[in-house]
Amino acid sequence: MINQTRREFILLGFSEVRELQILHFVLFLCIYLAALMGNFLIVVTVTQNQNLHSPMYFFLCNVSILDACFISITVPKSLANLLMHERRISFSGCIMQVFLIVKFASAELYLLTIMAYDRYIAICHPLQYAVIMNWDACFQMAAAAWITSLISGLVNTANTFRLHFCRSNVIKLFFCDIPQLLMLSCTDTKANTWLITIISVTAGSFCFSFVMVSYGYIFATVFKIQSAQARHKAFSTCMPHLIVFCLFLSTAMFSYMRPKALSSPPVDLLAAVLYTVLPPLMNPIIYCLRNKEIRKTVWKMAKKRFGFRMALPLSFAK
């Protein structure tokens, strides 16, 4: 048995061909910078516009911060390895990656679920919205999401790294991931598998059901609205959130809950990219394209800061 406290892992990454590694470095760097800029833009836009100081945009800022942190867990380390032609990650570094991935992924799932509740109260019970979604309640719900995700991260990380890793130390991804680590363990991993399955199914099913039921009531209420403009405004605030939630949950489920028959190194690598890179990149794009208030504020800030006078498509500027 190798002493696991001194063990290093090898992140296999994408390719051993140097030219392809450079291509991956450039592509990942562009994606990473775009994701950081997009999420930072959301946070700045909301904080700079008094009209956006509402519970919905408060939770959106939390999600944007989470997305920036989430993609920063894996991509910078992968970029450094590609640039330095290095593949090693320390045992402690692997522990930290696993903990932060589980924590931030759980927190985002909980916050997206809370945002569905916020939209439900705003559309189905508008007269009670200010009372129910007061700032104390918003801070408490956000704190609950962060604290619960912290517990989830600690439990899953501790349960994973209590194992002994005496097999190959090669992880066939560009970051440390729990399913890959379980494959390297020479300890019985049935308890780990059951714990991950129970937590994932319970949390995922509850959040998915809660969001779907909330939107069932929301759509039923919206379709009863007589004014087409009011219906469009309601949809413009709801659809970006629904798209972001479905994108995040579908990529997470494909990564961790797909059948073993669909598991292979290329598919595992694709799932890892979809899960850790795609949502942080796409979320700000979806909100900027689909949310009218965000679009208008971004455009006003751009004109004020840079003095833009060029014409934009009417779908963006309006």
**196-210 pLDDT per residue, tens:** 888 888 888 899 999
% of the chain surpassing 70 pLDDT? 91
Averaged pLDDT score across all residues of the chain: 84
Amino acid residing at 87? R
Ordered alpha helix ranges (H), the chain: 18-48, 55-84, 91-124, 129-132, 135-160, 178-184, 190-222, 228-256, 265-276, 278-290, 292-306, 314-317
3-class secondary structure, 132 = helix
More confident call, 153 vs 231:
153
Whether 215 contacts 242, CB under 8 Å: yes
pTM of the shown model: 0.86
Residue 312, pLDDT score: 47
More confident call, 117 vs 318:
117
Whether 166 contacts 146, CB under 8 Å: no
- Copy the structure tokens of residue 108: 């985002």
Residue 146, pLDDT score: 94
- Mean pLDDT highest for which of 25-29, 192-196, 296-300? 25-29
Calpha distance 62→57 (Å, rounded): 9
Q: Reply yes or no on whether the pLDDT at 314 is more than 50.
A: no
The pLDDT tens digits of the residues spanning 167-192 come to: 778 888 888 888 888 888 888 888 88
The pLDDT tens digits of the residues spanning 272-309 come to: 888 888 889 988 888 876 677 777 777 777 677 666 54
Dihedral angle at the C-alpha atoms of 280, 281, 284, 288, nearest 10 degrees? -160
Homologous superfamily in CATH for domain 7-317: Rhodopsin 7-helix transmembrane proteins (1.20.1070.10)
Average pLDDT over residues 151-164: 89
Amino acid residing at 229? Q
